[in-house]
Amino acid sequence: MKYRKLGTSGLDVSEISLGSWLTYGVGIERDLARACVDRAFDLGINFIDTANVYGRGAAETVLGEILAGRPRHSYVLATKVFFPMSETDSGLSRAQILKQIDASLTRLKLDYVDLYQCHRYDPQVPLEETMAALSEVVRQGKARYIGFSEWKPEQIAAAFAVPGVERFVSSQPQYSLLYRRIEAETIPLSESHGVSQIVWSPLAQGVLSGKYLPGARLPEATRAANEIMGNAMQNWLKPEILEKVQRLRPLAAEAACTMSQFALAWVLRQPNVASAIVGASRPEQLDENAAASDIVVPPELFSRAEAIVAS
């Protein structure tokens, strides 16, 4: 496993990180979640991403139990705040940020998180209030650094224009061979401010693994076959997209790697990407994805892949 510096922070994070969205504490039993986390550590993954809203606190609670007893310096833990935790608790006001960081730390059984992220932008709260509250969290020692997820370029620029506050070190956007929106503005702007990308859905929710075949029945026990998650994947499951993905198979073979590894290596080709978040419902799933950190793919193969998906 290779590691990269997270923006201007003092954190070195593994190129492949473990996410817990819609899994730990909800869809995945505790023993299996523990096995996945343990396997991640065995593979050199030191970066774990979660959020207060995942399972309405369940993911943080399970991770708190799993991580208890591990040396605190041996891992980097990120969580998030914004989405509703109840009918009255949501957003990025000062009151909510201070309330939710304490609740997250209680569930995680920790004194601090390494990275505290705004899960989305909150247009209902003055940006100055949000930035001041996040700075208060850092200065109280409850988070080492701050980040954001899915903010627009103008929102990012506005945050850096607020005087006297802590600076963001990370951005968490969607990014994959099938979804490249951040390349035009977000990455150049982030680079100019010392912000790294921690990307989610680098495999386009599993579509880039090649396991979904055009015209074929969805494999059982996959995300696409799940009634809730499958509905959120409909754009990726269009026949024309699945056909293009299958045309990537010879390129992965030429690079002597799996399709998932090819897709992850493509994301990691971007220097501004510090880490790619992957999920796992079984420990063995991590073996393949973690190995992508060591794979070197000729740039010419990536260019051919880009041309295929853009056609």
Annotated catalytic residues are 54
Q: Are strands 196-199 and 273-278 parallel, antiparallel or unpaired?
A: parallel
88 token code pair:
């009255």
Rg (CA), the chain: 19
Residues 6+ apart with CB under 8 A from 90: 82, 83, 84, 96
**Residue in 273, 248, 268 with CA at minimum distance from that of residue 258:** 248
| C-alpha to C-alpha distances, 53 to 12, 25, 75, 79, 81, nearest whole angstrom | 26, 12, 21, 10, 8
Which tokens in the block code for residue 167? 């600076």
The answer to whether 229 and 22 have CB atoms below 8 angstroms apart is yes
DSSP secondary structure letters along 234-257: TTTT-HHHHHHHHTTHHHHHHTTS
For the record, the structure tokens of 160 come out as: 């850096």
The single-letter DSSP state of residue 253 is H
Q: How many CB atoms lie within 10 A of CB 227?
A: 6
